A and B are shown apart, each in its own frame.
Chain A
Amino acid sequence: MRSVLILVTVFVLLAGLGPMLAPYDPTAINIPKRLSGPSAEFLLGTDAMGRDVLSRLLHGARWSLGLAFLISVISLVIGTTIGLVAALGGRLADWVMMRATDTFLAFPELVAAIVIAGLMGAGTWSLIFALSVTGWMRYARVARGIGLSVQSRGYVVQAQLADMPGWSIARWHYLPSLIPSLTVVWTGMFARAILGISALGFLGFGVQPPNPEWGSMLLDARVHLRSTPLQMVWPGLAVVICVLAINLTGDALRDALAERDRHE
């Protein structure tokens, strides 16, 4: 759990302080200096509009990480709610919720997000909607499984016999069991959201220019593959580093939880 906190702190700092470290305005156009290579003035060069790539990259952290965080938390809330309703709401609710989950799983998530975002019209809001609405299913499955197993535990039965209010049972008896596993799922979905945001940005369906988002930067750079190939490297590298950091943290957390469960 501590590693997740460290990771989140680093990302918050990156998204918070990154833009302050940027030497230039990420949207300032400077046509005479367009497509220049790395130099003392522009450490990573400039793009087709003469904007400073390093500044765009640093500001991009706010877009990519911030939106990914928002999306993964929205889908966490949707998924956990659906999973718990399925587990605790009786047989009919379970059937309906799980068939809904199957329906959303009957389609590759990113392809669904591309269709949704594309049809809703490009933009940040449709990006958030598309990725949230296609990203909740894993949370739902995990929450349902844990909900079902916790439901039959002695202390939940005791709490019910004591007439403890439902929200209080959820808070004190379900949440502590849900948090560790949902955190593992969340790290995975956070990484997926970063990949999804940049994929949609790359297709032109996501965050719109001139806002600096890593995927849309890649789309801009792709056209100038021959003249300034390095510009295509940076945004991709930023995505890879963030996703790798999240995945490794998630793996470590999962292993730690498995180890703990084995001891109990």
Chain B
Amino acid sequence: MLDLRNVRVRRGRRETLHDISVSLPAGQTLAVVGESGAGKSTLIAAILGLLKPSAGQITWNGASIQSIRPALVMQEPRAAFNPVLSLRRSIMEPVAAQGIALADGRLDRLCAGLELPLDLLDRRPTEVSIGQAQRAGILRALIASPPLILFDEPLSALDAVTQKHTARLISDLQKEEGFAALIVTHDLGYAVAHGDQIAVLKAGRIEEIADAETFATNPQSAYCQSLRAAAIALGGLEAAA
């Protein structure tokens, strides 16, 4: 279980995350929603250990978060891949670096699950579509079987059709592989559809945490109500009675 307790993060002189406490049980999905500048990227960087919290603890089952090597799926699919190397090389990086013996047929199985033809992996990132690059990015995150995967706006670079498709693939794989997913998004509809829990981040604080059902029907804070109304107006969320 991922556990953040009273986490504060400073960037330069400014504190960008104030007193964040949230937890995510193994195998479940936490969607973090917020406007740009709310501190979503900072939160991800802190969980990954790229930024050191100035106060508080981030743990996995009580142990240091670094010990489980959480993986990351990035917003810009192609940026996650070195342009001069084949996708395969980059995808196998975690396996090679950590000296993991890959189970027979794991790569084939994951590729099939992500609907990635095997020979596609020998191409360079610029030679595949954005959607394919993003699925390759998910493959790289999955390959070493980390118990926690962070998704930083995983769909925002994709077109609407690819978005739906990719979202479904992610949730199918999650059922198979059993990883915990922390998904940062500004898309309320996606958050409600795929999150077990939803945390709303505003100006570096958690405004509200609720399960998806409660959130979609009856959010407590005024800010979340306005978010919900806006999402319904834009057609990203269905109005529920």
Measured CB to CB, the residues of A under 8 A from B are: 153-155, 157-165, 168, 172-173, 176, 264
Please count the residue pairs between chain A and chain B whose beta carbons lie under 8 angstroms apart in the complex.
52
Given A155-B82, A155-B90, check contact A161 B71 (CB 8 Å).
Answer: yes
Given A155-B90, A168-B97, check contact A161 B72 (CB 8 Å).
Answer: yes
Q: Which of B8-16, B24-32, B73-81, B207-215 interfaces with chain A?
A: B73-81
Residues B98 and A154 in contact, CB atoms below 8 Å apart: no
Contact of B80 among A155, A164, A165 (CB under 8 A): A155
CB distance from B208 to the nearest CB of A (A): 30
Give chain B residues whose Cβ lies under 8 Å from the Cβ of A172.
82, 85, 89
A164 to B70, CA, bound (A): 14
Residues A157 and B50 in contact, CB atoms below 8 Å apart: yes
Report B63-103 CB contacts with A as 1/0, cut-off 8 Å. 00000011110101001111111000110011011100000
Contact of A161 among B69, B89, B90, B96 (CB under 8 A): B69
> Which 7 pairs show the lowest CB-CB distances between chains A and B?
A154-B79, A162-B94, A154-B80, A164-B97, A155-B82, A176-B84, A162-B97
Closest-by-CB residue of B relative to A158 is B80
How would you classify the secondary structure of chain A's contact residues: helix, strand, loop or mixed?
A: helix
Tell me whether B1 is interfacial, beta carbon within 8 Å: no
Give chain A residues whose Cβ lies under 8 Å from the Cβ of B140.
158
Give chain A residues whose Cβ lies under 8 Å from the Cβ of B94.
161-163
Give chain A residues whose Cβ lies under 8 Å from the Cβ of B50.
157, 160
Tell me whether B48 is interfacial, beta carbon within 8 Å: yes
A262 to B70, CA, bound (A): 36
Contact of A162 among B79, B93, B126 (CB under 8 A): B93
CB distance from B58 to the nearest CB of A (A): 15
Q: Can you show 30 pairs from A to B with CB atoms below 8 A apart?
A: A154-B76, A155-B79, A155-B80, A155-B81, A155-B82, A157-B50, A158-B72, A158-B74, A158-B93, A158-B140, A159-B97, A161-B48, A161-B70, A161-B94, A162-B69, A162-B93, A162-B97, A162-B98, A163-B69, A163-B94, A163-B97, A165-B97, A168-B97, A172-B82, A172-B85, A172-B89, A173-B82, A176-B82, A176-B84, A264-B126
Q: Number of contacting residues on B, CB 8 A?
A: 25
Closest-by-CB residue of A relative to B140 is A158
A155 to B93, CA, bound (A): 10
CB distance from B204 to the nearest CB of A (A): 22
Give chain A residues whose Cβ lies under 8 Å from the Cβ of B83.
264
Closest-by-CB residue of A relative to B89 is A172
Given A154-B74, A157-B72, A158-B90, check contact A163 B79 (CB 8 Å).
Answer: no
A173 to B94, CA, bound (A): 14
Give chain B residues whose Cβ lies under 8 Å from the Cβ of A264.
83, 126
Beyond contacts A159-B97, A162-B144, A172-B82: 7 other A-B pairs, Cβ-Cβ < 8 A, are A153-B79, A155-B79, A155-B82, A157-B50, A164-B97, A168-B97, A172-B89
Closest-by-CB residue of A relative to B69 is A163
CB distance from B39 to the nearest CB of A (A): 18
A163 to B97, CA, bound (A): 6
Give chain A residues whose Cβ lies under 8 Å from the Cβ of B84.
176
CB distance from A172 to the nearest CB of B (A): 7
CB distance from B73 to the nearest CB of A (A): 10
Q: Which of A153, A158, A159 has the most C-beta atoms of chain B within 10 angstroms of its own C-beta?
A: A158
A164 to B76, CA, bound (A): 21
CB distance from A173 to the nearest CB of B (A): 6
A155 to B81, CA, bound (A): 5
CB distance from B182 to the nearest CB of A (A): 14
A176 to B89, CA, bound (A): 15
Give chain B residues whose Cβ lies under 8 Å from the Cβ of A161.
48, 69-72, 94
Q: Which of A154, A162, A164 has the most C-beta atoms of chain B within 10 angstroms of its own C-beta?
A: A162
A153 to B96, CA, bound (A): 20
Give chain B residues whose Cβ lies under 8 Å from the Cβ of A173.
82
A163 to B50, CA, bound (A): 12
CB distance from B179 to the nearest CB of A (A): 15
Residues B72 and A159 in contact, CB atoms below 8 Å apart: no
